[in-house]
Structure 1
Amino acid sequence: MVRIARTNTERLIRLINDILDLEKMEAGKLELKVSTPECSDLVESTFASVRGMADGAGVSLHAEVTGTPQVKADRDRLVQVLTNLVSNAVKFSPQGAGVTVRVGEEADGRVRFSVVDQGPGISQEQRARLFGRFQQLDSSDTRSKGGTGLGLAISQAIVEQHGSHITVESEEGRGSTFTFTLESARPASVTPPPVIPEDASRHEVLVTTADAELASLLGGLLAHEGYRVVRATSLIEAAKHLDTALPDALVVDMRLPEGHALDWVRRLREQPRTHELPVLALSGRSEDAEGVPHWVDWMPRPLEESRLLKSLRYATRQPGQARVLVVDDDASTRRTLCAQMERLGVQVFEAADGESAVELARETTPDLIVLDVGLPRLDGFEVVDILRQGKGRATPLIVFTGRDLTRMDERQLTLGITRHFTKSRASEEELVSSVRDLLNGLLARKAHLS
C-alpha cells in the first residue's frame, strides 16, 4: 500500500509540474538558459534517462549523430524534449523493435533532430490532436501505456520557445518520425539558399534582421502564435529566400547594417511576383513609407507585440469581407447567430458538428469562430485542439455554450483572442459587441488591404 501511495504521489507531482511548465510557457515566463551543448551529449543524456524503460520493454536505442554538431539551446529543456519523444517512441514500439535518434547539420546553418520508431503509426486524424493537452490517442490502447497526456504539448511549447516547431511524418503500420530543427552554434557556410520546406498548415513569415536579440524575440513570439519563421540576416539573403519561395509576409528591420532597406522594398514593389507581398517595417520613421504601397504597418522600437500580431493577422488573411464561422448543433440557435452576424455585414459559414467545423475552418480561414462546446463527432475541446496545430491557432474565438466552464476549461478553449459566454447569461448586445471588437476593424474592410 505504501508503494502504491508513493507511485501515485510521484505521478501527481509530475502532472502538477507539467501543468506549471505549460502555464509558464503560455505566460511567456519560461526562462531559457541558452548555451551551446554538443548534440552527442544531448542524445547520450536522453538515452541514460530512458534506457531502463527501453530495456524493460525489449526495445533497443540507436544514435546516428553525423559529425559533431552543436546548437544554441537550453540544454536541460532540450533533453526534456528528446526524453519525451524517445519515451513515447519506446512506449508504442513492439518488443524487439528499435528507436533511432538522428542528428545532422543542414546547409542552412540549422541542426535537424529526428526520432524514428517502428510502432503502429499515427492516422491523419490522430496527428491533428497529437500536441493538444491531455491527449492520448486511443482509450482502448494508449491508456495502458501511462503518462499524463501533456508530454508532447510541453515538448512542442519548448521547441517553439527556441523558434522552431515539431513535425510528424507517419504511416499506419509503418512507424512514425518526429522532427524539429534548431540553430547551429557554428556559423553556416556560404551555400545556395536553402529550400524552404512546404508546410501548408501554417503561415510563413520571413524575418530580415541582423540583430540576433530581435530575431530571437520575433522567432519565439511568432512561433508561439503558430507562424513558421524563416530568418535572413541581410537583404541579399532575404532576396535569395524570396527567389526560392514567397512567404505570407515579410518583416524587415530598417536598421540593417548594409542600409537601403527601403529602396530594396521599393524594388520588390516593381516586380510582379512580389508586388503584393505584405511588408511590416521595424524601427523606422513612418513618413519614410509614404508612396510605398502594400505596407501593412510601420513599427517603432521597442516593439509593441500586440500591434505586430494584429498586423500579421491582417497581412495573412484572405482578402474580402470579414468571415465568421458559427458552430452549434442546435439549428434554431445557429439560425439566430447567423442572422446576427449577417446584419453586421459579414460572410457567415455554419457547421452543426465538430468535424464539419474543422473542415470549414481549414477551407474558409475565418476571421472569427463562434463555437458551442457540446458538439457531436468532435466536441468543442477537440475542435480547438485540432485548430491549434495549424493556421487556426491565432483565430479569435467566442465560446458560446450552455454549460458552465471552469478556469481549466476556459484555458483549454482558447485560440487567439478568446471570450467565453454562457448562453443563459449573455445578452445579444454583449455577444454582438464582442463580435465587433474581435473582428477589430475588419467590418469596414470590404476588399484587399492596400
Structure 2
Amino acid sequence: MSVWNALRLRLGAAASRRVSPYRDADERPLEDEGQGRDPRRLFLVVGLGALSWVATYVGMLELIESNLGDLPFIHKVIIGFSVAMLMTMIIWLLDKMFAPTDAFTKACYIAGYLFLSVISVGFGFGFYWKVLESRGEASRSAESAITQVQTALFAASTRLEQLQSTLDQLTTVSSEKAVVERDSGKSCPNSGPGDGPRRKMREEDAGRFKFASDFVKGRIGTVKSDMAALDGDLQKIVKDDRSVIDARTGNRNEFLRGISRKLDLTVTGFNAFRSDPQLKQIRIDLADRAEKTTITGAKGVVISCPDGQLQMALRGVVRAIDQLPELSKPQIAAVEGSEATIEAFRRLTTTFFGLLTFKLPPSADELRELQRKAVQSVEGSGQAGAPGAVLRPAFAEQAAGLAKRDYVPLAVAVFVDLCLLLVSIGRPVNQFMGLERSMREA
C-alpha cells in the first residue's frame, strides 16, 4: 500500500466495504480506501505539523546562529530539511503508536515519539518565548540594572554632599578660629593672642579641610553626570524608543550591551574612587586630626588644645568615608533575537534539573527582587563600606528558572504537539476493525 493511501486511511478512510473474512483489512483495493476520507483531519494534521515545523525550525536556526552568526542559504535549507524529517518522523510514529502491534514494539514507538516531541517542544518553546517574552524580559532586566546603579549612586551622592558640607563648615570654622587665635586667643584653653603654633594649626586645619572638600566636590559632579546619562538610557527603554533598534539585526541587543558596558564603567569608576589613595590618605589625616589634642610648640613644648566640636565632626566625616557603598555590577539580559532561544533553553533546563532535585529555582524576577533587598539591607545596616560587605550576593550568579509568564509560551509549544497527538488518536481502519466488520458481514 502506498504512503499516500496509508495517510488517507490514517486520517479517516472508514467507508463501509465488503471484504473476505480471510483478507487483511490493509490489503483492500485502492479504490475502496479513498471512500469516507475526512478532509478536516487531513487539514489538522498538515496544519499542526506545519506550525510545529515552523516553530522548531526557527528555534533551531536561531540557536545555531547565536553561536555561528548568519548562516548561508544552503545551510538554512539543510536545517529546514532536518526539521521536516523530524516532524515526518513524529507523524509516522503517531501513526504506528495507534496501529495494532505487540507491546514491545508499541513501547519503542512511544519512547521514540516522546523523545522527538521533547526536542520539538524545546525548540518550539524557544521560538514562542522569543516572540512573546524576550523583549519584555530584556526591558525589565535593563530597567532593574539601571535603577539599581542609580539608587546606589544617589545614596553615594547624598553622602558625598553631606561630607562636602561638613568639610566646608569645618574649613570656615577653622579659618575663623585662626583669626580669633591671632587677635584675642582663647581658641584653645589658656591661649593668648598672637601668631603662634595654635594659629598655625588652625590655618593648617582650614587648608586640609578645603583640599578634602574640593576633592569630594569633583567626585560629586562625576556621580551626578553618570546618573543623568543612565537616566537618559532608562527613558529610551521605558518609552520603547525605536531609534535604539539595530537596523541590521532588528533587535536592541547592541544597545543593551552598550548600557551594560556603561554600567560597568560607572560602577568601576565609583569603586575606584572608594579605593583611591588620595581618599584613603584624606581619611587617615582626618582620623589622626580627630584624635589630636596637643601640639608641639617652640623648643619642643607640648601645648594642649582639645576641641570637642572639631573632634565630633571629624569622626563623623571618617565614618561617612568608611560607609561609602561599594557598587556591584548588575547584569543586563540582552536576550532578543537569536539570544532569546539560548535564554529560553537555559531557563527550561534549569527548571527541569530543579524538578529532579525537588527544588524549583527562582525566576529572573525573583532573583532581581532578592538582589534589590540585599542591597537595601546592606546599605541600611550602615556596613556598606565595611570589610567583606560586598554587594554581590551569591544568588546574583544563580541561573534563573521559568517565571510565571514563561509558562505561556511553553504551554503554546506543548499545545501544538498535544493537538497533533489528539488528532492522531483513534486509528479508524486497522486489522481489528477490519476483522470485526468481516465477521459481521459473514
Please classify the TM superposition score into its range, dividing by the shorter chain length: under 0.3
More helix by share: 2
Q: Rg larger in 1 or in 2?
A: 2
**Which has the bigger relative contact order, CA under 8 A and spacing at least 6?**
2
TM-score (norm 2): 0.21
More strand by share: 1
